[in-house]
Amino acid sequence: MPVRQPPAGDGSRAVTAWLDAVRWNADGLVAAIAQDAVTDKVLTLAWMNREALALTAATGEAHYWSRSRRALWRKGEQSGHVQAVREIRLDCDADAILLRVDQAGGIACHTGHERCFFLKLEQGAWHDVEPVLKDPKAIYGDG
């Protein structure tokens, strides 16, 4: 997957001050929570590098950094399950982002669940307590 260029104008100091304010970790990443703007459910926790956050703000669609694939990733680029971003927030010590999003297709998780947090601790074990809404094979194809 090609790594996209930052949006035009991203090099000027005035434009990037808000990005400089983020306390990027040693890997240049910040944790980013996505919360459904309609249901208020917490959908996902993913990671952003500077470019992903800049693109999220510039395009209004959530972009992340995949730590496993080491690549920039527009959420939903394969599945169609994009996240339209209504609001971007930063926390008090500037090391976590909170997005309020409209989740396309009502599915945020690659497993076909509505969201990634479908495992609930009950009686000392994790239980899948939410349905798979769509077979991942139907989302991503068999390949």
Q: What 8-state DSSP symbol labels residue 132?
A: B
Task: Give me the sign of the Cα torsion angle 135, 138, 142, 143.
Answer: negative
Binds its own copies by CB under 8 A, chosen from 48, 109, 114, 139: 109
Cα separation, 37 vs 106, whole angstroms = 11
102 lies in the site for its own copies, by CB under 8 A: no
Q: Which residues pair with 121 in a beta bridge?
A: 126
Among 7, 120, 135, 140, binds its own copies (CB under 8 A): 120
Interface with its own copies, residue 125, by CB under 8 A: yes
In the chain, what is the greatest distance between 2 CA atoms, to the nearest angstrom? 54
Query: Does residue 80 contact residue 87 with C-beta atoms inside 8 Å?
Result: no
Restricted to residues 39-98, the positions that interact with its own copies (CB under 8 A) are 40-42, 44-45, 57, 87-96, 98
Query: How far apart are CB 23 and its own copies at their closest, in Å?
Result: 11
Residues that bind its own copies (CB under 8 A): 14-15, 17-18, 21, 31, 33, 35, 40-42, 44-45, 57, 87-96, 98, 109-111, 113, 116-121, 124-126
